[in-house]
Structure 1
């Protein structure tokens, strides 16, 4: 018999699919658990709403339409973002358009994003209701623009006031210089001095007048709202669909992992592929374990072919401890063998005196009961030329099957195949009541 530990078969994708199908309850339980956790999170964590306002920050300049103007060089967006999230702006917003907010709460609920390579700014406000979030975002944007515009106007007014005071003073100085020039003798040093003062004062006044005209032309429009909070989409946190989808995906992954882990820990036979992969044993067929087992004909035909090929005259049927109603199964297989034209008898090795006689019989069938002791099983295998393993998919454990395979090799009984028995609930006792662990004999001694 090939040593399964020395062979390295290729990856069989169908095996993994078989594992998932056989453990579908574990996979479904993982999905349900993931959805329950996601749903619980949605119920426990309070729902918040995020409203967004997008605005364009305009540079303060006297010529807003200059062809060579670069807004990025005229604006410090980091400083503008700090201003937009300041307490001063939040206080103005709370007073003017956000009655549901207090300044500190509004400032703490506001996030401002400003790109260094552009003049756009995004103001986001988080609240416990959609209406409150929209009102906060809109009020913060309006308050920021108004605060910035007011600062510009205040700076211009202060500069204009100082310039007006300076102009008044220079005009008085100019009048005094003109009077001195008029009273001085032409060509005298006093006349020259008065003329020089007149020219200097006139130049200073001209510069102040030019500056005043420049200040009067400054555009105090601080910014323009591009997307008001009233029309932008509200973001809900946590997002229900995203959270449920995440829970579904995480639960599915958990269920798949758990399916493979439990499968590897239990090590049960689930399909013919498991028998072929783990023990290099071919499957003769599958039967039902009701009172009149069905589909036994195919098992009988393949058993006859394999026994004839190997020259076996005595074949033992080794029933796994999870098989109930093994007598009906044995009788059905024997009946199908006889119907195929073979002379078949059954034998009890415990009554054979250590030897079997198959005179007048083409084939001797030796059934090994599910609750047979280790000694009885070894005796049946020793007296048989070949053996057939009768297993239940999903219940027969690889550990127990490995014991039988080892016993058969030790006793010189070649395993010609396995028969799969599908359980039909309600027909017989449960697997736990049918027989003890295959790896232990009736006295509880390990095989």
Structure 2
């Protein structure tokens, strides 16, 4: 298990931050695209505005204040929701609006929800504008409550009519019994008639009480607690949510594309990226992209630091390989020779074109200049004749592949790698025109002069 765990490579947070720092343009671009997409979505999408009317449902009963049973037990949520969103209520609402609203369209735009106890209904109406949505929600609520009231009245009237018919029938029976009781001479018949009369009177009394109770029944369907104008109006799609979704989606896609793009990104854009790619420290970061002598005070100080670090790591052979990937013919190797000579040590530059490495064994420091543009074979030959090496890289020019290949070849040959000298990116002002070409020619001339001087 320990052997397996030792082969697992962990990726720290710094890796993710480095990738995002390298590919920040992709993240920003995708964020802008996400915002633009959300804006386009809002432009082409029709707003759907929903208004809500809140109503209190009345329990229609002959004992409305009876504490024996809660109102929630007398109302069925599913039934009430179905009634409120029914086509019948939609027809009533369309007729009440009198604005040409089609019942089927209104039916599709209505949504009703009932509270857990079944006594509160929320009627939601959706329309293109706020005014229409508010009007429709209130109209549907009113039509719904009216429908409940009308249905209750109709059921009450039907029952009352049936009870009235029964009362009439009982009155007829009572009249017959009274007539029989008055005309009979037989004691048994008189007793039977009296018994029938008492039963009829008892049933008649009960029915009359029921009819009286039903006639006093309150059939109000309910009342509006909060009309639509007083309730918050929902707008879909929400602009805030749409923009937030666009921004969030753009950032997520940007991060995904950044990690997809990063392994294929070859150019190293900063000294920290170069240090990460080479696995060695940056010996110095120069200020002048072309570093023409005389060097600026800052670049001279940086090169002096490189000199001291190189001298501190020099072996007995004293052969230093300067692998130049600055891509402009920069004379870093020659400048290093001059910096070493300032300390009183003998130093000379191996001609970058002839690779003349013959020297007297007098303790001289030999600086071998090898541009990466000379090819792999020349690089391998130079590495073979060197003791230590350093890389001259340029931000935005040196690639990840070049850095890794160079370092791999150096370490494979057992040559010590000291670090990297980093030059800033060359702007267009340095690259364009005859001045750029003249700078390159002057640099190469300086290399030859310095090679002869030291």
Q: TM-score range by the shorter chain?
A: 0.7 to 0.9
C-alpha distance in structure 1 between counterparts of 2:177 and 2:355, whole Å: 149
Say yes or no: does 1:40 pair with 2:43. no
Q: Give the number of aligned pairs.
A: 424
- Tell whether the 8 Å contact from 2:75 to 2:118 is kept in structure 1 after alignment: no
C-alpha distance in structure 2 between counterparts of 1:424 and 1:267, whole Å: 17
- 1:320-359 counterparts in 2 under 5 A? 320=325, 323-339=326-342, 341-348=344-351, 350-353=353-356, 355-357=357-359
Say yes or no: does 1:420 pair with 2:422. yes
- Tell whether the 8 Å contact from 2:56 to 2:225 is kept in structure 1 after alignment: yes
Instruction: Give the structure-1-normalised TM-score.
Output: 0.87
Find the counterpart in structure 2 of residue 393 from structure 1: 395
SS in 2 for 1:351: coil
- 1:56-71 counterparts in 2 under 5 A? 56-71=56-71
C-alpha distance in structure 2 between counterparts of 1:316 and 1:376, whole Å: 12
C-alpha distance in structure 2 between counterparts of 1:31 and 1:424, whole Å: 29
Question: How far apart are residue 83 of structure 1 and its match?
Answer: 0.6
CA distance 1:121–1:98, change in 2 (3 Å): farther
CA distance 1:157–1:249, change in 2 (3 Å): same
- Tell whether the 8 Å contact from 1:391 to 1:421 is kept in structure 2 after alignment: yes
Unaligned runs of 5+ in 1: 1-5, 435-447
CA distance 1:381–1:166, change in 2 (3 Å): same
Q: Looking at secondary structure, tell me which structure has more helix per residue.
A: 2
Question: How far apart are residue 378 of structure 1 and its match?
Answer: 2.0
Find the counterpart in structure 2 of residue 118 from structure 1: 118
Question: How far apart are residue 413 of structure 1 and its match?
Answer: 2.8
C-alpha distance in structure 2 between counterparts of 1:338 and 1:234, whole Å: 82
- Tell whether the 8 Å contact from 2:19 to 2:259 is kept in structure 1 after alignment: yes
C-alpha distance in structure 2 between counterparts of 1:152 and 1:250, whole Å: 54
CA distance 1:264–1:168, change in 2 (3 Å): same
Find the counterpart in structure 1 of residue 104 from structure 2: 104
Find the counterpart in structure 2 of residue 290 from structure 1: 290
Find the counterpart in structure 2 of residue 158 from structure 1: 158
Find the counterpart in structure 2 of residue 26 from structure 1: 26
Instruction: Give the structure-2-normalised TM-score.
Output: 0.85
Unaligned runs of 5+ in 2: 1-5, 438-454
Find the counterpart in structure 1 of residue 16 from structure 2: 16
Find the counterpart in structure 1 of residue 225 from structure 2: 226
- Tell whether the 8 Å contact from 1:307 to 1:416 is kept in structure 2 after alignment: no
Find the counterpart in structure 2 of residue 280 from structure 1: 279
Question: How far apart are residue 358 of structure 1 and its match?
Answer: 5.5
- Determine which of 314, 323, 326 is the counterpart of 2:319: 314
SS in 2 for 1:419: strand
Say yes or no: does 1:236 pair with 2:235. yes
C-alpha distance in structure 1 between counterparts of 2:222 and 2:344, whole Å: 100
CA distance 1:146–1:363, change in 2 (3 Å): same
C-alpha distance in structure 2 between counterparts of 1:346 and 1:241, whole Å: 66
C-alpha distance in structure 2 between counterparts of 1:331 and 1:135, whole Å: 87
Question: How far apart are residue 275 of structure 1 and its match?
Answer: 5.0
